[in-house]
Structure 1
C-alpha cells in the first residue's frame, strides 16, 4: 500500500508545469559570465578573522548579500557570490599575541569558526575563501606595481609611534588611547569604535602600546602613499556615473561625498609589520601592504581561487555588474580607496555598480561586546534552539537600512509568534491540511469562473511587482515585508471565500477552485520567501510535492488538477514568552542595562559637578545676581 502512495506522489509531478525551474548546486558547474545575460558579481565585506561574528556583523554584510544572491539566482540571473575571511593586518597579530599562537594558527582557527557560523545561518556562498593565499599576494602586488608604474604612488617620511619597551614601530591598531572626538578611552589608532571616526595614532590622548601598555615615542619611518589627490578628479567622475546607474544606498553615497568634499589626500598603504602581503619593492622588503589597501583585493583573489578564469568576472566592466554589501564603517575603502586603486592601474577592472550599506544593529539598547559577554554572537544563535530561518527573518525585518535598529528579545519572540507562525505558517498549514483531509491530497478539477478570479490575480500580481521592484533595487527589508503581504493575502482569500467544511458540503465547485488557487498561491509564496527563508521554502515545496521554482513576474496556476501533494507539517513553532528573560539574562541584556544605568549615573554626577564648578566661576567673574534678581556688576577676580 505504501509503495502505491509513493508511486502516486511521483506520478503526480506530471501535473506540475514547473520542471526543475532553478538549479541550486554550489559547486558545479563553474559559474562564469555569459553573453546576453545579467551577470551579477556579489561580494559581502570580508569578515575580520580575529573574533566570532555577532548579529550586527551578520546582517550588515553576509546575510544581506546572501538574500540578494539567492534572489538573483531565483530570477534566473547569472550570479556569483564571493566572500571569505580577511586575515592580514595588525588586529590579527594583536589577537595572536593575546592567544599565544602564531597569526597563521589564529587565522586557521577563526576561518573555520566563521564558516561554521555562516553555514548554520544558511549563507550560501559560491566561494568562501581567505586572503592568506599566494594568489592574494600575486594580485595585490600586480595592482601595487600598476599604480607604481603610472605614478600614483609616492614616498613620504612619516612620524610613527615607536615602543622602546619591545623595540618596534607600532601599527595603528597597536596603539590605544582616548578618542579626541568623543573621549572614548579605548579608541584604536586607526578608528574609534564608539563614534566611528577614522583617526591617526597621534590624535589619541594619552596613547599607549597595546602589547605592553608603555607610552610610545615618535620616530621617523619611510612609507608608500597612494596619491588619492591625483586620482580624485577621475574618481569623482566615476562615482557620479556609478551612483546614477547603480542607485547607491543613501548612507553609502553620503559617506563617500563627505570624503570628497574634504578633499582627498595621499594615504599611507604600507605598514611596519611582518604579517601581511610583502611590498614588492626591494627598499621596502621589511614592510607589508596596509590591510585596508590589501583587503578589498581579497574579493579578486578569492574569485581567482574559485576559477582560473577569474578575469572574466573582474576585468569585464561592460558585461558584469558588481554589487557590494557592508556596514557603513567600511564604505570609504570600497568607494574611494579600492576604486582609486583600480582606476590608477589604467586597466579595465570591473568596478562597483551598487553599494548596499547598513547602519548599526544595537543589542537591547547597547553595543555588542564579546569581552563583556553582551549580545548574541553567531555561535550563540544555535544555542537557543530557534531555527536559522527565524533568526534570518528577524534580522532582515530589523535590517538597519536608514538608521540604527535595536535587537530586542521581546520583539524577536513577537515576530515569530505573530508573523511567521500566525501569518505565513497559518496560511500554508491551513490549506495543506484541508486538502490532506478532504481531497485525499489531490488537487481537484475546477472552473475559475465560479469565483472572482481576475480581481484576485490582479491583487497578487501587484504584490509580486512591488516585491520584484524592492529586491531589484536592493531594498531587502521592504521586499520581505511585501512577501509577508502575499501570505496575508492568502489568508484573506480563504476568509473571503469561507473555506471550511460547510463550503465543501454546500458549494463543492467553489471549494474546488478555492483549494486549487490557494495551493498555487502557496507555491508562489515558496518562491518569494526563498531568498529570505530558504529552509521554509524547501519545507513548503516538500509539502506541495513540487520543485523549487523561479520567482515569477505574475501569478500563474502551475499545480494542475490531479497533482498529489504531500502531508502537512508545521513550518514554525511557538516560542514561550518566558524565554525573553531567560535569554536576556544569558546573553547580557540585563547586564547591558545595568551598565548603561551605572554609566548614566556616573555621567550625571560628573555633569552636576561641572555645572557647580561653572556656577562658581560665573559668580566670581561675571557678576552675581542682586537681591532683586537683576544682574549685578562684574567684579574682576584679584590675585591674592
Structure 2
C-alpha cells in the first residue's frame, strides 16, 4: 500500500527510520509524515543541498571556487566533524534514529552558515567580498557532498542523486571522524535540481481517508501486551522547550523565513501532541489506553 501512495520510497525510508522506537514509543501519523517531509527534508536538507549547488552553478560557472578559510569557517568544520563523530558512534551502537538526527543537524548548520554569510550579496561586492562568497559556496557544496555519503544507509536514491548532481569523486564515498573538503577548487559539478517535493495537506487527507480502517489479519495484529509505553507528557514538555529555543535562536539570527516557518510548524505539532498526551493522563498520573 505504501507503494500505491506514489510517495517516493526514500521518503518512507526516512520517516520510518526517523520515528523508529529506540527507548520510547512511536507511532505512524500522516500529518507527521507531511510535517517531516516539508520541514526536515524539503526546507532543511533539500533547501541546503540545492542552494549550495545552485550558487556554484550560478555564480561560478559550475566550478567549485577557491576557498580561503577564516575562523568562522573552521568553527563550522569543527561542528560538522563533531556531528560526524557522533554519527559514526551511534551507527556502531545501532542507534539508527539518533544517527539520522546528526545528518539533519549538519544540514541545519549549513543553512545557517549560508544565511549568515549571504553569498548572493557578497558576489556583487568588492574583490574581497567576491572571494568570501567563493569560500562560503565552496564550503557549502563540500558539506552537501558529505551529506550525500551520510544519507546512503537511509536514502540511497537521494544519496545517488546528490552525488550525480555534484559529480562527486570516488574518494567522497568514505567517512572518517573528520570532515575534509573533497571537492577541490576547479571541480566541475553537474546539473542541479530539487531533491524533494512538498506534500500538500489535501493529498495527505486523501491518503488518510483512503487507508483509514484497513483490516489487519489476526496473525499480523500486535499483541496488546507487547505495546510499548507511550510518550509521557514530561518528555514532550522537554521537546517543546528545546524546539522553542531553536525557533528563538533562528529568529535572533534572522534566518530564512522558510526555515523559521518549518521549525515553528514543528513546534506547534509538538504542542499538539503534548495536549493529546496530557488528556490521556488519568487522575493517578498514569497514561490510560483507549
State TM-score, norm by structure 1. 0.32
Give unmatched runs, 5+ long, in structure 1.
1-379, 593-640
CA contact (8 A) 1:446 1:561 kept: yes
SS in 2 for 1:565: coil
Q: For this pair of structures, how many residues does the alignment match?
A: 211
SS in 2 for 1:401: coil
The 5 Å alignment of 1:185-264 reads none
CA contact (8 A) 2:56 2:62 kept: yes
Q: Find the structure with the greater CA-based Rg.
A: 1
CA contact (8 A) 1:585 1:591 kept: no
1:51-102 Cα shifts (integer Å, max 9, x gaps):
xxxxxxxxxxxxxxxxxxxxxxxxxxxxxxxxxxxxxxxxxxxxxxxxxxxx
CA contact (8 A) 1:584 1:590 kept: no
The 5 Å alignment of 1:523-534 reads 523-534=145-156
SS in 1 for 2:24: coil
In 2, Cα distance between equivalents of 1:419 and 1:388: 16
In 1, Cα distance between equivalents of 2:22 and 2:76: 32
CA contact (8 A) 1:467 1:482 kept: yes
SS in 1 for 2:33: helix
Q: RMSD in angstroms over aligned alpha carbons? A: 1.7
State TM-score, norm by structure 2. 0.69
Give 1:428's aligned residue: 49
Matched, 1:520 2:142: yes
Give 1:599's aligned residue: none
Give 1:579's aligned residue: 203
CA contact (8 A) 2:165 2:191 kept: yes
Q: CA deviation at 1:575?
A: 1.0
In 2, Cα distance between equivalents of 1:508 and 1:499: 8
Which of 440, 444, 456 is matched with 2:76 structurally? 456
Which of 458, 468, 485 is matched with 2:88 structurally? 468
Q: Which has the higher strand share?
A: 1
1:155-188 Cα shifts (integer Å, max 9, x gaps):
xxxxxxxxxxxxxxxxxxxxxxxxxxxxxxxxxx
Q: CA deviation at 1:591?
A: 8.5
CA contact (8 A) 1:394 1:415 kept: yes
Matched, 1:412 2:33: yes
Label 1:503 to 1:589 Cα distance change in 2 as closer, same or farther (>3 A).
Answer: farther
1:337-358 Cα shifts (integer Å, max 9, x gaps):
xxxxxxxxxxxxxxxxxxxxxx
CA contact (8 A) 1:423 1:488 kept: yes
Q: Which has the higher helix share?
A: 2
Q: CA deviation at 1:478?
A: 0.3
Give 2:132's aligned residue: 510
Label 1:473 to 1:381 Cα distance change in 2 as closer, same or farther (>3 A).
Answer: same
Q: CA deviation at 1:456?
A: 1.5
CA contact (8 A) 2:148 2:162 kept: yes
Label 1:589 to 1:513 Cα distance change in 2 as closer, same or farther (>3 A).
Answer: farther
4+ long deviations beyond 4 Å: 589-592
1:274-320 Cα shifts (integer Å, max 9, x gaps):
xxxxxxxxxxxxxxxxxxxxxxxxxxxxxxxxxxxxxxxxxxxxxxx
SS in 2 for 1:514: helix
